[in-house]
Chains A and B, each alone.
Chain A
């Protein structure tokens, strides 16, 4: 049948590059994978096909073909360039292709992840049992900065009960409803049964869809006592809701939604912290928010969504910039919620430059220092999404 598409693209024998090319393509694919580009072996096969078509004569063509085949995100482009140079410049040598240095997220992890000894203590049993005995009510009130390692494990369990799926807004997609727009299709089907007389009219109406929630979590040094717990909150959100985006905020902006999709909280946090380069550094909220609004906000992600900022508002950057960006964000977002763990402290006044400058643009201001306050945050998000 003419319409049948053969699985194999029918490589023409005469132009087929030799075995060595296949091997080189496979090795190149592996180098790219190791350098952080997400590409499966199907991409490698496609690359071999591309090489059959463009040939191996021109380095430039090989370069561009590989780029079109292997890359699929803007972030891939730089990684590709480095790997390409490292790999193809050395290809003539019989030695194995040079291997780009692998990331060592473990180093950065120490501040987020339980140290190895902790795991051991768990295995030994006795101590772990006493440690786990931590009355839930006490835990709910306890400030995150005073949590022990085991209590973080408990927190995961508490968080898994939180529903962060958000409240719905009206979508453009239609579904059957009691009233709304006339539904020709359904009415016609009903009419078939009564000889073409549309006795009962059917309608459809806009379906309700969850509103997008964007969480920006400050991971700078001053937030060290809280960011670990708050990241777990982000993780719980990402896995319970398909419409949630997570970012780490420090001296730069890192999107960590993908990294947080693992169901295992420890693994998810490990991956997220691997992606973040400026762990426990300073904060330049204004510049980072500008990045966010420029790249993600203005183009659509923040449009009409609930933006949640989890930060103590300590900022080393220009307050004017921050103010301007908060103004832009408030125009794009549906609601802005600011979560500041310091708010729970006695005598706290939001006077610090960054916090004071941002508050006029914030719709809801919450604490977020313990589990109870996170629960309130979840409610606030749901409420904000609804209106």
Chain B
């Protein structure tokens, strides 16, 4: 059986034959993945399954799809979910304004009978593709990466509809016919877990829970993404964020915040942390007023001292 005839297979990048290869490849694209995540992505690509990613905000769920699209050199098509999202925003919509103009024009020139006008109206030209249809229509060497972001924000009806698309990878447009993906897109679904997503949808997917990274891994991530930061600054920032995560904040900072913060510090020309620097840049790591107060309460100087002494007790796995 040739690979393309088997609709679900073959989205692995060249030179990747197991999950270690994939992990290495992801690293080349500046994404440091844990073993488990690499295995999950490998299986998703190889078995042609959607990958369902959960985890706290800022742990890098969305990043996975960006890296995949870069690695496979294929477009990233993103569908941001929100409450009340419906088929017209997710799949397709007719361009009614243009259709109306078309009718008026046909009327003005005369001649054509109305059935002909109607046929013209539902031409592909008048159809606006939204992300889901775009991902099915894409024709290229590799299927595109379809990111269905924050699916927990959409409502149940939309979930049921997604289920249908994810099992067939085809959509029927009454006026045009059925559009089927030549090769099913690589689907990444993320959820912040504001509500439980229905079992039926999850059953179609592989699942991975992304944790906050360990200290060493976070240092590596920062080094990769913010190479201008001094070694000391990088380690200090990662350590301070690690302590903050254990401070019982309303919104514990994620990797995204560590990166933002380090970038902010580098922009200020910092080589190492001091009290004044932390104070003035705190807003890029800690985004609630109450949280900022909680961080400042024991004294930033003390916080830095424990971090410098290596006594922060960062959990090593």
Please indicate which of the listed interface residues B184, B202, B206 has the most CB atoms of chain A within 10 Å of its own CB: B206
- Whether B230 sits at the interface, judged by CB under 8 Å, is no
User: B residues near A, CB below 8 A?
Assistant: 1, 4-9, 18-19, 35-36, 39-40, 42-44, 46-49, 51-52, 54, 57, 82-86, 94, 96-97, 99-100, 103-104, 106-107, 114, 117-118, 152-153, 155-156, 168-170, 180-182, 184, 192-196, 199, 202-203, 205-209, 250-251
- A10 near B83 with CB under 8 A, answer no
- A198 near B100 with CB under 8 A, answer yes
- A42 near B8 with CB under 8 A, answer no
- B84 near A74 with CB under 8 A, answer no
B44: chain A residues within 8 A (beta carbon): 68
Closest Cβ–Cβ distance, residue B178 to chain A (whole Å):
9
- A3 near B39 with CB under 8 A, answer no
Chain A residue at smallest Cβ distance from B43:
A50
A38: chain B residues within 8 A (beta carbon): 199
B18: chain A residues within 8 A (beta carbon): 54-55, 61
Task: Identify B195's interface contact among A184, A185, A301, CB under 8 A.
Answer: A301
Range class of the A interface residue count: 35 or more
- A64 near B47 with CB under 8 A, answer no
Give Cα A299 to B57, complex, Å.
9
- A185 near B47 with CB under 8 A, answer no
Give Cα A125 to B42, complex, Å.
63
Chain A residue at smallest Cβ distance from B6:
A10
- Whether A176 sits at the interface, judged by CB under 8 Å, is no
Closest Cβ–Cβ distance, residue A183 to chain B (whole Å):
9
Closest Cβ–Cβ distance, residue B17 to chain A (whole Å):
10
Closest Cβ–Cβ distance, residue B155 to chain A (whole Å):
8
- A188 near B96 with CB under 8 A, answer yes
- B82 near A172 with CB under 8 A, answer yes
Can you report 19 A-B residue pairs in the complex whose CB atoms are below 8 A from each other? A2-B5, A2-B7, A3-B169, A5-B7, A53-B47, A54-B42, A64-B36, A68-B51, A71-B207, A74-B209, A171-B84, A172-B85, A173-B86, A188-B99, A188-B103, A209-B155, A257-B196, A258-B196, A295-B193
Task: Identify B169's interface contact among A5, A61, A65, CB under 8 A.
Answer: A5
- A2 near B4 with CB under 8 A, answer yes
- B192 near A195 with CB under 8 A, answer no
Give Cα A328 to B251, complex, Å.
13
Chain A residue at smallest Cβ distance from B249:
A294
- B100 near A188 with CB under 8 A, answer yes
CB-CB contacts of A9-35 with B at 8 A, as 1s and 0s?
110000000000000000000000000
- Whether A386 sits at the interface, judged by CB under 8 Å, is no
B203: chain A residues within 8 A (beta carbon): 40, 42-43, 72
- Whether A6 sits at the interface, judged by CB under 8 Å, is yes
- A185 near B94 with CB under 8 A, answer yes
